Structure 1
Amino acid sequence: MITLRKAEERGKAEFGWLKSRHSFSFGSYYDPAHMGFSALRVINDDWVAPGAGFDTHGHRDMEIITLVLQGAIVHKDSAGNEKILPAGEFQLMSAGSGVYHSEYNASQTEDLRFLQIWIMPDRQGGAPGYQQKHFASEPGLTLIASPDGREGSLVLKQQAHLLRLSLSADEQLNYPAAGRKLYLHLISGKLTVDNYTVNPGDGLMVSGQSALQLLATADSEALLFNLPI
């Protein structure tokens, strides 16, 4: 089964300094039909005004992945990490037994845009962890996060894989689902996936499929989540 959720159907938050679109229930946006998908709990598409950001706040027992699409983030946390996360790099913060952090737009003049992703871990507690890495832009699929860190990927505390998809116009790719759940979030471009047209911000929920047929009708970039049933 494949379900397409259009970008305009996502939850919305507007706070002046922040504009956010929520693929799943988050904050003041609540939709019992969209509480997450498998272990995937949050995909927030955030725009942050110059110099603004999220004050220090806490998390626990969550794998938090950030991808900056435009600008850079200043990150500080209670584990002693003080980092700059520029556009194109991935950050994975394992909250473990508890961590406090803040995130700010590093620029005083330009907007910041980033995706924040939450994945529920398969085990609770443990020391918080921090990982950050730039992955070379390669055609096809690039493994970003996995349970065992293979191929130089970030180590995720869940039996799940995050892949970045990059296809040029008219390129095709067949991805085996092997009975797993898949979630695709399109960042840019346009895809045809098993006769569904996918536009930026759209999400595609896939279960019970043997494979996924992807065709780029424009240069496209997406995140593909391979998730437990």
Structure 2
Amino acid sequence: MPGLLTPTVEVRRAGERHASRLSWLDSKHSFSLGTGRPDPANTHHGLLLVHNEDLVQPGAGFETHPHQDMEIVTWVLQGSLVHQDSTGHSGVIYPGLAQRMSAGTGILHSEKNDTYRAADVRPTTPVRFVQMWVLPDEPGVTPGYEQLEIDDELLGGSLVTVASGMDRHRDASAIRIRNRYAALHAARLRPGEQVALPEAPFLHLFVPRGSVDVEGVGALDEGDAARFTATGGQRVSAVTSAEVLVWEMHATAAL
């Protein structure tokens, strides 16, 4: 558990993120892990080590590659993403579907634009998604996979628990992650609707679409993020139709 912390809020604007661009991929990185440009001042916040917003063009995707000892949560914003892994799991991830992969002792997987499979149809739609990594409580667990549709729960305009390893979210979370100090929440808000941030030593608020106003912080637009330390409970109000992703973390990574 974290020790004595100084209350701070750090706003990170969309354009400040490091970008990786290929012919088929536009990836924006909130942290430096995996960017090829190490930044000791931007390795993580709380338990969150990777927070990438990816746009994958039709007919393309990430070929089979390995991961180990990481809890990986994928949240699709547009289009659909095909997942396949070495444990035999496969599925199509789309907006409103929560998905978690536990890399554990080691896993191979691929992620491709869903239209990649449709050889008889000309693909036209990019897939846009956010992928987030947190460390597990313990290394060397058995790899695993879980997904569940929560689109209906998001219709209420409240903060919905997408993924959690915390006991107090055991009955509320859509999917489980193997870290007892972390939880991911999401909300889809109409203009004027509000949600309150959780109280936690570390919070990460990301706005994947629309614009919001955060109490005591100000305006956050699409792609912006705010990192809270030793503070919480602020009201987040939608200025336009908006979506927010909130990581609630009660520990920090020891890197």
Q: TM-score, normalised by structure 2?
A: 0.85
Partner of residue 110 from structure 1, selected from 122, 125, 131: 125
Instruction: Tell me, yes or no, if the aligned pair for 2:29 and 2:35 is still in contact at 8 Å.
Output: no
> Quick one: distance in 2 between partners of 1:173 and 1:87?
20
In 2, Cα distance between equivalents of 1:213 and 1:49: 36
Which segment drifts farther, 60-69 or 80-89? 80-89
User: Contact 1:12/1:29 (CA < 8 Å) preserved in 2?
Assistant: no
Once residues 168 and 20 of structure 1 are traced to their aligned partners in structure 2, the CA distance between those partners, rounded to angstroms, is 27
SS at match of 1:151: coil
Q: What code does the residue aligned with 1:35 have?
A: T
Contact 1:39–1:121 (Cα < 8 Å) also in 2:
no
Equivalent of 1:142 in 152, 157, 160:
160
Cα distance 1:227–1:109, how it changes in 2: closer, same or farther (>3 A)? same
Task: Give the drift of 1:176.
Answer: 4.0
Greater strand proportion? 1
Q: CA 1:54 to 1:180, structure 2 compared with 1: closer, same or farther past 3 Å?
A: same
Query: In the alignment, is the contact (CA less than 8 A) between 2:18 and 2:35 conserved in 1?
Result: no
Point out where structure 2 has 5 or more consecutive residues left out of the alignment. Answer: 1-7, 116-122
Work out which of the residue numbers 6, 9, 20 in structure 2 matches 1:2: 9
Cα distance in 2 between the residues matched to 1:53 and 1:71: 13
The CA deviation string for residues 149-169 of structure 1, in whole angstroms up to 9 with x for no partner, is 422521111111110022221
Q: Which residue of 2 aligns with 1:73?
A: 81
**Separation in 2, partners of 1:153, 1:45:** 21
2:230 aligns to what? 208
In structure 1, how many angstroms separate the alpha carbons of the residues matched to 2:232 and 2:109?
A: 40
C-alpha separation in 2, matches of 1:92 and 1:73: 13
Match of 1:11 among 7, 11, 18: 18
Letter in 2 for 1:93: M
CA contact (8 A) 1:187 1:201 kept: yes
Percentage of identical aligned residues:
36
User: Relative to structure 2, which stretch is displaced further, 30-39 or 57-66?
Assistant: 30-39
CA 1:141–1:50: 2 relative to 1, 3 Å: same
* Map of 1:182 onto structure 2: 203
- 1:210 CA drift (Å): 4.7
The alpha-carbon deviation at position 92 of structure 1 amounts to 0.2
- Pick closer, same or farther for the CA change 1:156–1:174 going to 2, 3 Å: same
> Alignment partner of 1:140: what SS?
coil
Distance (whole Å) between structure 2 residues aligned to residue 208 and residue 216 of structure 1 = 24
Deviations 1:197-224 (A, max 9, x none): 1111111000121522222222221101
Q: What number of residue pairs does the alignment pair up?
A: 228
After TM superposition, the score normalised by the length of structure 1 is: 0.94
The CA RMSD measured in Å over matched residues stands at 1.5
Distance in 1, Cα, partners of 2:108 & 2:198: 38
2:110 matches 1:123: no
- State the distance in 2 between where 1:168 and 1:29 align: 38
CA deviation after TM superposition for structure 1 residue 189, in Å: 1.5
CA-to-aligned-CA distance 1:40-88 (integer Å, 9 cap, x gap):
0111111111111111110011000111111111111100112121233
